Structure 1
Amino acid sequence: MATAEGWPISLDHCFMRVCLDAAFGRPWHEAVRRPAVRHMTDADLARAVAVAERIAAVPSLLPGLNAESLRLRGKAKR
């Protein structure tokens, strides 16, 4: 889907980072132990899936969510 839509990120782990960071409102690894999918609550997972579903429905959200994820991690482009 990412490649077909021309999304700015296409690797699964990058998409997961964006969804999890948005779901937690901070870098996900600060909120839950690694690997996230084994340590998240059902509510955490539901929030992350909701973010992914919003992105799938409105792909134009992805660049902003990716930029926010990178900003939260101190990796924003200047």
Structure 2
Amino acid sequence: MTTDEKKERLRQLANVDFPAAAKAGRFPIVLNHCFLRVVYDHVAQDMWKNVLTGKGPAIHQLSGEQLDLAIATGEAMLTDRELTSKLNQESLAFRGKLK
């Protein structure tokens, strides 16, 4: 898969696949920007803005390997509400926002 194809797949996951699955399955997050926050923070293992410090959207800063991990993470989140919850909590912890 080319870099552009990987970016398009991640956009598809964020903008179409995950929001639909999340709303239907009562996931802890449903919005595309929340999905991307969780995915990017997981890839970065920190708040993504602390790691991806270049200009422009995070999707354009990810390496091919990072895009692969982002896609794999997003696809896993599609069917696993527990994983989504766990990764959301991880992301919130990176941001100091745990409840």
Aligned to 2:10: none
* Residue 37 of structure 1 pairs with residue 37 of structure 2: no
Report the AA paired with residue 47 of structure 2.
P
Aligned to 2:36: 16
State how many pairs are aligned. 77
Q: 2-side partners of 1:53 and 1:59: how far apart? A: 12
Query: Cα offset for 1:17?
Result: 0.5
Q: Secondary structure at the match of 1:2?
A: helix
Q: Which has the higher helix share?
A: 2
Q: Which runs of 5+ in 1 are unaligned?
A: none
| TM-score in terms of structure 1 length | 0.89
* Residue 55 of structure 1 pairs with residue 73 of structure 2: no
Aligned to 2:87: 65
Query: Cα offset for 1:57?
Result: 3.1
Query: Cα offset for 1:16?
Result: 0.5
Runs of 4+ in 1 over 2 A off after TM superposition: none
Percent identity over the alignment is 36
Q: After superposition, what is the alpha-carbon deviation per residue over 1:16-49, rounded to whole angstroms, capped at 9, x for unaligned?
A: 1101111111111111134101111111111111
Query: Cα offset for 1:58?
Result: 2.0
Q: 1-side partners of 2:98 and 2:37: how far apart? A: 14
CA-atom RMSD, angstroms? Answer: 1.1
Larger deviation, residues 51-60 vs 12-21: 51-60
* Residue 27 of structure 1 pairs with residue 47 of structure 2: yes
Asked which structure has the greater CA Rg, the reply is 2
